[in-house]
Structure 1
Amino acid sequence: MTDSGHFHGRAPAALISAPGSGQGKSLITAALARLHRNAGRQVRVFKFGPDYLDPMVLERASGAPVYQLQPWMTGEAECRWRLAEAAEQADLILVEGAMGLFDGTPSSADLAVLAGIPALPVIDAWGMAQTFGAVALGLARYREDLTVREVIANRVASPRHGALLAEGLPADLTLLGAVPRHDALTLPERHLGLIQAGELADLDERLDQAARVLAEAGLDRLPEPVTFSAPRPTPPPPLLAGRRIGVARDAAFAFLYPANLDLLRELGAELHFFSPLNDTALPPVDALWLPGGYPELHGATLAANTSMHGAIRAHHDAGKPILAECGGLMSCMDTVVDGDGEAHQGFGLLSGTARLTGKLQGLGMHALRLGDDELRGHTFHHGTLENGPAAQLFSEKQSGTGGEPVFVKNGLVASFFHGYFASAPALVASIFDGRFSLSVGSE
């Protein structure tokens, strides 16, 4: 008998990780998802930690939305119930880790142990033979509470090379497959990571080809089944009932967690999507959300859309709420300077200049606190602000010092900080109904 108060399911599952970044785990995860999807299986993929770009590719590969799992940002309970919910229907669950298997607090390994999922390391074998076994052994033995039974060798030079790698493994570790170097297992990148999935005209062809490469390497076998069970979450109160929110979504503003959109709807909001690049007017809304993305790559097009500029300024002049995150913040400045040094007119809601630099300016897990509420999330940007206004608040780093400034002005809440809305539903609701701005005060 099914317990309506719980999610419960059993499905093959693995957390795809690596000794460190750059080993190829993102494309291996995407190719695995596409391989099993093409075999007629229902595949659910999750991403450990904050990330917008990898999930875009993973969603195309699997055909299903990709949600974040990170015990600090999303909470342990959400990690458990999302996996259990997926296991009720999925034939395969994959979680793509972040950085190295044990990097970060919490790490990908922490999530694997929390959820009871075996880790499946992807190890770049280029330039290695028997030493591959030592690396695999270290990953498998570093923590007694972590399960590692198989590994994947990536960028293997030849069948003989693959055989050497397999021979060098300890008896209780298996080589799931030796993946050769192949163009299908690479994607173009820019300063924030992979190119957005929607910008790659041949992405589906690449994924199908990558899936075939993995099948030929023997990676078409399913991992071991895992049983998942967790209580269903309690729905949030309808704090935004009847509230209409305009959400910018196009090539310039695309960094949107599915969970954040879900939470706004669960709060009772009605979402209206619009394109600052292509639309000349705003939909009839009470509040706006300008998420992160790449406005600096579309500076000339955004600047030329004077009708949209006027509509956004009129919304702001009326004191209606606006949340602007990262690229959204940059677009709200008087001027936006792109990576080539070209200056473009911004929306003009905040004084000063936003400038894209070649150096990473902010990275890490952050929280925005107001009263008893704590909105958790992250920052990752190459932008700087020059001659900008004074900040009314600062986010706080999970570890270390140096938060991101938060600018509050006439209903506008703008920062390089990206929030995970479900971590603080009441605070998020207060941003979109204007109470946050009133409680903080503005410049």
Structure 2
Amino acid sequence: MNSYLVSSTKKSSGKTTLTIGLTGLAANLNQNVAVFKKGPDYIDPLWLTQASKTFCYNLDFFTMSEAEILKLFKEKTFNANLALTEGNKGLFDGLSVSGKDSNAQLAKLLNLSVILIIDCIGTTRGIAPLLQGYKIFDKKIKYHGVVLNNIAGDRHENKAINAIKEYTDFDVIGSIHKNKELTIIERHLGLEPAFQNNKSKKIITKITKIIKNSVDIKKILRPDPKKKLKNSISKIYINTKKFSGITLGVALDNAFGFYYPDDIEKIRNYGVSVKFFNTLLDKKLPNVDALFIGGGFPETVASKISKNKSLMNDIHAFIDDGRPVYAECGGLMYLCKNINYQKSNYPMVGIIDAKINMFAKPIGRGYVVLNCTNNHLWPISKKNINAHEFHYSDIKFAKKKYKFAYNVKRGHGINGKSDGLLYKNLIATYSHMRDTRQSLWIKNFLTFIFNQRNNE
């Protein structure tokens, strides 16, 4: 199997664009492609999912052990002849100065060949010592080739390529020239999820065409003669029907779509029936035992959500009746009284006595560390829990006082000290959980649902 990590020297260098184009081309050629994203991000994987026509899975050292990363990678590449992983930031960047959580470490762990995309604005000959430095810094990294990005013209391209040929043994496998339309697209890729962009298919088609004309595809998408496709997909995660009979409602629409696909798969593998509902269109909740309202950008479609009063009343009554509900970030915002966005106030579900204010810059951004309080409804772990947050909103409470499920050891959460607002059988957080060994939230949540249903 051909397995690649698309990386660079820094962020905003064209990694997502290149990976979207490559996965789109692989899908068009009917290759069995497995797609991954390093880190906890939701937005890039949603674009890669749409481009590849298969789920993109996150590989994250902060929330997963190396063994879990290997396990997930092996499971999802079992029937693939091509694996593409998009890195984050630069090849050697990470939280640890030792590089133990870097893109380079991921490449070594999973035996990935690195495709390095370089932002060439303002440089020609200088690219050669940059590449040589990367090769010397960690000699265990296998480089498949270099793709030059933001090339000003043929003269710029020739100078860069000649310098690379003269001073390095890197193979130049592509050259992407400056393109105003592509620049505009790239600015929005990391900010807007595919489910909120009604032109996402056209954008992916445009990117795929540019990459096809700019990269030597045969050097990347060539079939591996040693790879024999299996007849069935390996089931590494335990498939049990322990919670068979439970029905979980999951919000999925233009407002909410931030879910890890392997978490949803795990919920189903426990025997749970998942029913998706649309907060913009559905007038009533489906017949379910509990709700999971994930993250997203409800503020951008707040005018539409606020008009669906019937569903919001249904959700309000569902929570007030003591039914189990778990909400993350956008879900938390949706459950408050209103969202103040672009000088307008939009009424929301109102079960949480607070209002949401939107800001131009993030209030909470990056990895968080939490630990459970004694108030937690389905305690996840007695140890620290690693998760992440990314929100431009802040919450302002009215008169009602709430207890919380988590103490915040790192990050912001709801107020810099606490996260996981509690009301009856609702937990609403700004933090996004990943179901891994250090935070087994799914099994505990389902156990809570099971017990609540049986006690009715």
Decide: shared fold, TM above 0.5.
yes
Worse overlay, 70-79 or 263-272: 70-79
1:110 aligns with 2:105: yes
Structure 1 residues without counterparts, runs of 5 or longer = 1-10, 439-443
Of 408, 412, 418, the match for 2:426:
412
Question: Using the alignment, how far apart are the partners of 1:108 and 1:245 within structure 2?
Answer: 35
1:280 match: 283
Question: Using the alignment, how far apart are the partners of 1:247 and 1:318 within structure 2?
Answer: 18
Secondary structure, aligned partner of 2:156: helix
1:381 match: 391
Could you tell me the TM-score, scaled by structure 1's length? 0.87
1:257 match: 260
Secondary structure, aligned partner of 2:41: coil
For the structure 1 residues 373 and 320, does the alpha-carbon distance in structure 2 shift closer, same or farther, using more than 3 Å as the test? farther
Question: Using the alignment, how far apart are the partners of 2:256 and 2:423 within structure 1?
Answer: 21
2:361 match: 359
Trace 1:33-432 onto structure 2 (pairs within 5 A): 33-105=23-95, 106-169=101-164, 170-183=167-180, 185-186=182-183, 188=185, 193-223=190-220, 233-235=236-238, 238-338=241-341, 340-370=342-372, 371-372=381-382, 375-387=385-397, 389-394=401-406, 396=408, 405-423=419-437, 426-432=440-446
State the Cα distance separating 1:138 from its structure 2 match: 2.6
For the structure 1 residues 79 and 183, does the alpha-carbon distance in structure 2 shift closer, same or farther, using more than 3 Å as the test? farther
Worse overlay, 145-154 or 253-262: 145-154
1:31 match: 21
Secondary structure, aligned partner of 2:337: strand
**Which one-letter code corresponds to 1:362 in the other structure?**
G
For the structure 1 residues 395 and 432, does the alpha-carbon distance in structure 2 shift closer, same or farther, using more than 3 Å as the test? farther
Deviations 1:363-404 (A, max 9, x none): 222344444366542111111011264442335457999565
2:376 match: none
1:4 match: none
Conserved 8 A contact 1:336-1:343: yes
**Which one-letter code corresponds to 1:365 in the other structure?**
Y
Conserved 8 A contact 2:125-2:163: yes
Worse overlay, 37-46 or 391-400: 391-400
2:378 match: none
Question: Using the alignment, how far apart are the partners of 2:74 and 2:205 within structure 1?
Answer: 28
2:375 match: none
Conserved 8 A contact 1:120-1:149: yes
**Which one-letter code corresponds to 1:37 in the other structure?**
A
Deviations 1:24-44 (A, max 9, x none): 110111011112332332222
Secondary structure, aligned partner of 1:235: coil
Worse overlay, 365-374 or 151-160: 365-374
State the Cα distance separating 1:52 from its structure 2 match: 1.4
Conserved 8 A contact 1:299-1:344: yes
Deviations 1:57-78 (A, max 9, x none): 1112111111111133233223
Question: Using the alignment, how far apart are the partners of 1:341 and 1:305 within structure 2?
Answer: 21
Secondary structure, aligned partner of 1:284: coil
Question: Using the alignment, how far apart are the partners of 2:34 and 2:200 within structure 1?
Answer: 19
State the Cα distance separating 1:319 from its structure 2 match: 0.6
Conserved 8 A contact 2:239-2:269: yes
Conserved 8 A contact 1:263-1:425: no
For the structure 1 residues 62 and 128, does the alpha-carbon distance in structure 2 shift closer, same or farther, using more than 3 Å as the test? same
Question: Using the alignment, how far apart are the partners of 1:215 and 1:272 within structure 2?
Answer: 38
**Which one-letter code corresponds to 1:221 in the other structure?**
K
**Which one-letter code corresponds to 1:177 in the other structure?**
G
**Which one-letter code corresponds to 2:419 in the other structure?**
P
Question: Using the alignment, how far apart are the partners of 1:373 and 1:249 within structure 2?
Answer: 31
**Which one-letter code corresponds to 2:355 in the other structure?**
T
For the structure 1 residues 426 and 107, does the alpha-carbon distance in structure 2 shift closer, same or farther, using more than 3 Å as the test? closer
Secondary structure, aligned partner of 2:90: coil
Secondary structure, aligned partner of 2:428: strand
State the Cα distance separating 1:115 from its structure 2 match: 0.9
Question: Using the alignment, how far apart are the partners of 2:103 and 2:344 within structure 1?
Answer: 40
Conserved 8 A contact 2:363-2:412: no
Question: Using the alignment, how far apart are the partners of 1:302 and 1:149 within structure 2?
Answer: 47
**Which one-letter code corresponds to 2:387 in the other structure?**
G
Conserved 8 A contact 1:166-1:174: no
Conserved 8 A contact 2:336-2:352: yes
Once superposed, what is the RMSD of the aligned Cα atoms? 2.9
Could you tell me the TM-score, scaled by structure 2's length? 0.85
Conserved 8 A contact 1:376-1:423: no
For the structure 1 residues 269 and 98, does the alpha-carbon distance in structure 2 shift closer, same or farther, using more than 3 Å as the test? same
Question: Using the alignment, how far apart are the partners of 2:337 and 2:113 within structure 1?
Answer: 50
User: How much identity, in percent, do the aligned residues show?
Assistant: 27
State the Cα distance separating 1:247 from its structure 2 match: 0.3
Conserved 8 A contact 1:406-1:415: yes
Conserved 8 A contact 1:406-1:414: yes
State the Cα distance separating 1:217 from its structure 2 match: 2.6
For the structure 1 residues 72 and 266, does the alpha-carbon distance in structure 2 shift closer, same or farther, using more than 3 Å as the test? same
Secondary structure, aligned partner of 1:392: strand
For the structure 1 residues 272 and 136, does the alpha-carbon distance in structure 2 shift closer, same or farther, using more than 3 Å as the test? same
Question: Using the alignment, how far apart are the partners of 1:176 and 1:94 within structure 2?
Answer: 16
Question: Using the alignment, how far apart are the partners of 1:233 and 1:397 within structure 2?
Answer: 33
Question: Using the alignment, how far apart are the partners of 1:42 and 1:131 within structure 2?
Answer: 38
Conserved 8 A contact 2:131-2:168: no
Deviations 1:178-233 (A, max 9, x none): 111225634547899332223444433433333333233343034496999xx964
Question: Using the alignment, how far apart are the partners of 2:129 and 2:450 within structure 1?
Answer: 53
For the structure 1 residues 259 and 108, does the alpha-carbon distance in structure 2 shift closer, same or farther, using more than 3 Å as the test? same
Question: Using the alignment, how far apart are the partners of 1:108 and 1:115 within structure 2?
Answer: 11
Deviations 1:294-319 (A, max 9, x none): 11112222222111111001111111
